[in-house]
Structure 1
Amino acid sequence: MAAERSLRRSLREAWQGRMDSMRQHLADVENTPGLSLLCLLGAATGALCGLVILALHTGIHLLQDPLFELFGVSGAGFTETSVAFRVAVPLLGALILGLIVEWVLKSAEYGIVHIIERLVYYQGVLPVKAAVAEFTMSVLALTTGQSVGREGVAAHTGATTGSWLGRRLDLPNNSVRTLVGCGAAAGVAASFNTPLAAVIFAMEVVMMEYTIAGFAPIILAAVSGSLVTFTFTDVHPRLVAEYSGFSPIELPYLAFVGAVVGVAGAGFTRLCGALVPVLAKVRISLRIALAGLVTGLLAIQFPQIMGLGFDTVNGSLAGQYAVGMALGIGVAKLIATSFATAAAIPGGVILPTFVIGSALGSALGTFGAMLLPGDATDAGLYALLGIGAMMGAVLQAPLSALVVILELSGQTGLVLPGMLVVIAALVVSRRISVSESLFRLLLRRRGLDYRNDPISQYLRRASVLSAMNRRFRIVEPKIDRAALDEILENKIDWLLIRSREQRASLMRPGDVARFLNQEENDDIEEVDLYKIPGKRMDAYSIHVRASLQEAFDMVNRNEAEALIVERNVVGSNAITYGVLTREAIDGTYRP
């Protein structure tokens, strides 16, 4: 029995040693070992996220098929249903969603805004309960035709998967943040089969920074997430976007189209921002029900706004809608999605921007053909460019929008018109909506903001493990002279004085040595480190997983001069890893 316990202890210590070594590598992901490990973890996160997308797709079909059979429209889409179905189903679905949120969940924390909030204020720690709740409710929302997309739940569950994996392995918070970005990218990639756009979206919108250490694992996550769903073609129906080129004479009109769609994008953002404080005064069950009612009433005339909208986008790309119908679909979808977003119906806004942008682009393309007979390209090109323009205007993410156009079309010839339209939409929307993306606006409506200056970016990427000083010894306040002399013979930089009665303190060995070397102190047999002359710094405890941003905030908040990096272990004393001073933190970003 004793031998078995000893073996278990040895195995546990060996495992802990390997894990500590891995965490040390991940504390500085700029080095090759740390980046390699993070890439492997990113790929694993992406694969797990792909499985979640498959589960989401399956859940929607398991609920939607019986629902359509109940109304006698089995195998049909929302556009082929009766008026009663279009009004009743979104309203009843929203009522159920509202009651679940109000009675069971007590709060509504969903989607990409929630991811950004947790990255900024909680170091990437996302509650699994919130992700499970959004997954379940998104299935219900998408089944009942609410005007939302599925990329919100895909990104949220993916980000939560990355966060959960990082916390299970007890990784440093800087690595957890990157895994959250990996999950968000994998979710978007698996939803639309656009891995490159998903990578840029994660860096441009979620992480809000571009680094090699971030790009590499996020790329692998997007690839692995797409590969899991790649063989299931009905998971992300193909958007058929074909065009036969464009004429240079169209370029001024293309810029005009971008500007018009930019106005629509800014209007969408501002409408959402205006509705949030108004609906916040209403009980959450009633405001979600109101959003469902708005969708149902608009769907009486424009049923194309219900559900995911892939068929509607393909209809716009094929030029199937007349100018009036296309404009109506675009405006109705904009209004319905604004109410759904402001009411906090779980889902996303990216796929709705596809529907809005393609419909408005198709209408403007058809109108352009009237203005430039024989010179204008068909409406499909304008519908495709409208998708990028609307996405870029709403998300303030021009690179993501441009890459979406290229990946959906597979045509590099769209680079020139795509850049023109997307930038025109971006400039106009920034002028109208004060340079804010929808996610940043919704974050501010919660009373939160996002620090994204270069110093904060750097500090969030680095762990306390990469900057702490490991040359220290832990001592009692009162210590025998001989023991103290032995400690001082070692090459250490700090004495960490621990006492049950007082906060831990740090003292330089040189101050103690000078005191002991004085002739009048030769006969001292016991030294009280709290009473001898010398500078002592109160030291606060910080967890070994913390980032340098957390350390920086703690130092400023407590007006502390030093921190002790440690991990609490159940049933035993804390394990101390190192000492981190204010000067060491400042030295990481100052030359």
Structure 2
Amino acid sequence: MGRFPLFQNSIVVNILAVLHWSGLLLPMAACVGTLCAVFLWALDHVTDYRFAHPGLLWFLPVAGVAVGLAYHWFGRSAEGGNNLIVDQIHEPGGGVPLRMAPLVLIATVVSHLFGASVGREGTAVQIGGSIASGFARLFRLDDNGVRIILMAGIAAGFGAVFGTPVAGAVFAMEVLSIGCIDYRALVPVAAASILADMVCHSWGIHHVPYRIGFAGYPDLSGQIFHTDPVLLLKVGVASVCFGLTSLLFAESVHRLSPVFRTLCPIAWLRPAIGGVLTIALVFIAGSRDYLGLGVVAATPDGASILNFFHPGDYTWSWLWKLVFTVAALSTGFKGGEVTPLFFIGAGLGHTLSTFLGVPTDLLAAVGFVAVFAGAANTPLACTFMGVELFGATDVIYIATGCFVAYLCSGHSGIYLSQRIGVPKAAHPHIATGMALRQARGFIGRRVRKTDTQTSPGSETQTGK
């Protein structure tokens, strides 16, 4: 035994590290999974209540002001949301406040109760990041430990709220840097995501099941092969549209937010504008299908994510949902973007399937994950999500949709704190390490002589 002291020491160190991180991650993931269960339970109940009491919509501006005041009085740095968590992973500093978790949970439930078109991913990620940061402070972790546990918190929230633990783990690593993944936290984020999902499920929370009937076309010999070249080409064409839609969504939110800040400098009053706009949009569209999450509709044939997997006339539903969601998010409502992006992607896929001659359920599924992949710049996580939600039979088409949409969405996205790991395309001003909030400022800008003498990293960071 004395001949291998280094080997023995390494085993002891590894065992101690496993015990240390288990003592941190297990209770943290259990807390996040439990809070996500409470959150999903509350969302189901307020959505049903809103369906039964449509008059609640009239109080959406007042509800928005109430949420705004809550953040004005108690929020402070919690207003930074998902971008604050990503910033703290890149450069640990002040941490993520523990009050972020209850604030965003209550604010999102209130927003859904009165009909704001927001999602749930932002809430879950912020719950995870907030709880993880609390554990980091409690156990006085160093900067590296803070990074790992914050990533694990993101994974736990994402995996539990969508029931996709593998996608949650990959998302937590991939969302930090565009085109680059750091695997040092692979085991912690996977463990946290899986455990949080298990805890959420143990509380009796069940996620909506999605099923695709399409199983492939027979080849010349009559055997079903997993890839049809013509169908793959059509999916690729549709995926370009998915990526451009991701770009449209992200840039609409980023460009309209400062407009509303100028129109109404009082932050807590700004959601009232979004509430009034939402009410007006309901009358213009002649439908309430674009309120809330949009997973299910108030009527059997209404526009919803589930109905997009079946035949029906939902041609412009994806665009209406985009407008409703941009109006809510750019005026300060809390929740997130991802479930509305699922709606937009599935709705657009449903519409394009008619023009391209592609099975409706297949293209709705591809759009479901591809628009999110382009907007979040997380093609691998979204591919895993597609497999976890729809099965692996059509993974070639799902991966194609996510990868092409990612490339076509450009250097933009819903998370401005993402860093450029590997640029999607060569650009004289976009460099490795630059935050996305800086990079998107160079898109479409003509190169000037003075620009070539300025380092991209010297640009001032703006936005959240």
The Cα offsets for residues 357-414 of structure 1, whole Å up to 9 and x where unpaired, read as 0000111112223xxxxxx3x211100000121011101111112111111101x232
Once the two structures are superposed, the pairs formed by residues 84-95 of structure 1 within 5 Å of their partners are 84-85=55-56, 87-95=57-65
**Aligned equivalent of 1:414:** 394
Superposed displacement of residue 130, structure 1: 2.6
Q: Which residue of 1 aligns with 2:301?
A: none
The Cα shift of 1:104 comes to 5.3
Counterpart of 1:305 in structure 2 is 290
Aligned position for 1:509: none
Once residues 453 and 95 of structure 1 are traced to their aligned partners in structure 2, the CA distance between those partners, rounded to angstroms, is 37
The change in CA–CA distance for 1:181 and 1:105 in structure 2 (over 3 A counts) is closer
**Aligned-residue identity in percent:** 24
The letter for the 2-side match of 1:308 is: L
2:42 and 2:330 map into 1 onto residues whose CA distance is: 25
Q: State whether residues 272 and 342 of structure 1, in contact with CA within 8 Å, keep that contact through their aligned partners in structure 2.
A: yes
Pair 1:453–1:427, CA change in 2 (3 A): closer
Cα deviation per residue 1:114-155 (whole Å; 9 max; x = unaligned)? 211333344472111233221221121122221111111111
**Matched residues in 1 for 2:374 and 2:267: separation?**
29
Mapping of residues 491-502 of structure 1, within 5 Å: none
**Alpha-carbon displacement from aligned partner over 1:314-354 (angstroms, at most 9, x marks no partner):** 111223x31xx2x4221111122223222232111111110
Contact 2:46/2:112, CA 8 A, preserved across alignment: no
1:44–1:221 Cα contact (<8 Å) kept:
no
- Separation in 1 of the partners of 2:401 and 2:408? 11
* Contact 2:88–2:95 (Cα < 8 Å) also in 1: yes
Give the equivalent residue in structure 1 for 2:5: none
User: 2:47, 2:292 within 8 Å by CA — same for their partners in 1?
Assistant: no
Q: Which amino acid aligns with 2:372?
A: M
Match of 1:149 among 119, 141, 148: 119
2:164 is matched with 194
Q: Is the 8 A contact 1:110 1:347 kept in 2?
A: no
Select the residue among 181, 188, 200 that pairs with 2:151. Answer: 181
1:197: how far off?
A: 0.7
Alignment of 1:433-452 (within 5 A): 435-440=411-416
Distance 1:345 1:235, change over 3 A: farther
C-alpha displacement at 1:40, in angstroms? 4.5
Q: Distance in 1 between matches of 2:279 and 2:77?
A: 25
Maintained 8 Å contact 2:37/2:200: yes
- Residues 235, 125 of structure 1: alpha-carbon distance in 2 compared, 3 angstrom cutoff: farther
Matched, 1:425 2:405: yes
Normalising by structure 1, we get a TM-score of 0.61
Residue 400 of structure 1 aligns with which residue?
A: 381
CA pair 342-176 structure 1, distance change in 2 beyond 3 A: same
- Kindly indicate whether structure 1 or structure 2 has the higher relative contact order, using CA contacts under 8 Å at least 6 residues apart: 2
**1:249-398 maps to which residues of 2 (within 5 A)?**
249-281=230-262, 282=264, 283-300=266-283, 301-311=286-296, 312-319=304-311, 321-322=312-313, 325=314, 327-369=315-357, 376=358, 378-398=359-379
Which residue type is aligned with residue 318 of structure 1?
H
Q: Describe how 1:429-578 pairs up with structure 2 within 5 A.
A: 429-430=409-410, 435-440=411-416, 453=433
Paired AA for residue 210 in structure 2:
L
Tell me the SS of whatever aligns to 2:175: helix
Give the whole-Å Cα distance in 1 for the aligned partners of 2:94 and 2:18: 19
CA, structure 1 residues 239+112, in 2 after alignment: closer, same or farther (shift >3 Å)?
farther
Q: Deviations over 1:5-52 (max 9, x none)?
A: xxxxxxxxxxxxxxxxxxxx9xxxx95633552244223321110011
**Pick from 106, 114, 126: which aligns with 1:136?**
106
Which whole-Å CA distance do the structure 2 matches of 1:348 and 1:232 have between them?
23
> With structure 2 as the length reference, what TM-score do the two structures score?
0.77
The residue aligned with 1:170 is 140
Alpha-carbon distance between aligned partners in 2 of 1:338 and 1:108, rounded to the nearest angstrom: 21
Q: How far did 1:453 drift?
A: 4.6
Distance 1:234 1:33, change over 3 A: closer
Report the residue type matching 2:215 in the other structure. S
The gaps in structure 1 that reach 5 residues or longer are 1-24, 75-80, 370-375, 445-449, 455-591
| Correspondence for 2:208 | 237
Corresponding residue for 1:52? 35
Figure out how many residues of one structure are paired with residues of the other and give that number.
393
Letter in 2 for 1:111: G
Q: Taking structure 1 as reference, are residues 217 and 108 closer, same or farther at Cα in structure 2, changes over 3 Å only?
A: closer
CA contact 2:174–2:378 (8 Å) conserved in 1: yes
Structure index of larger Rg: 1
Partner of 1:100: 70
Cα 1:270/1:214, change in 2 over 3 Å? same
User: CA separation in 2, counterparts of 1:382 and 1:231?
Assistant: 33
Question: In the alignment, residue 32 of structure 2 is paired with which amino acid?
Answer: C
1:291–1:336 Cα contact (<8 Å) kept: no
User: Mind listing any 5+ residue stretches in structure 2 that lack a counterpart?
Assistant: 1-8, 218-227, 297-303, 421-429, 435-464
Amino acid at match of 1:414: D
In structure 2, C-alpha distance between the alignment counterparts of 1:169 and 1:230, rounded to whole Å: 28
Does 2:194 correspond to 1:223? yes
Q: Which amino acid aligns with 2:413?
A: S
Structure 2: distance between partners of 1:186 and 1:140: 23
Q: Is the 8 A contact 1:273 1:441 kept in 2?
A: no
Question: 2:31, 2:158 → 1: CA distance?
Answer: 13
- Answer whether contact 1:392 1:401 (CA < 8 A) is retained: yes
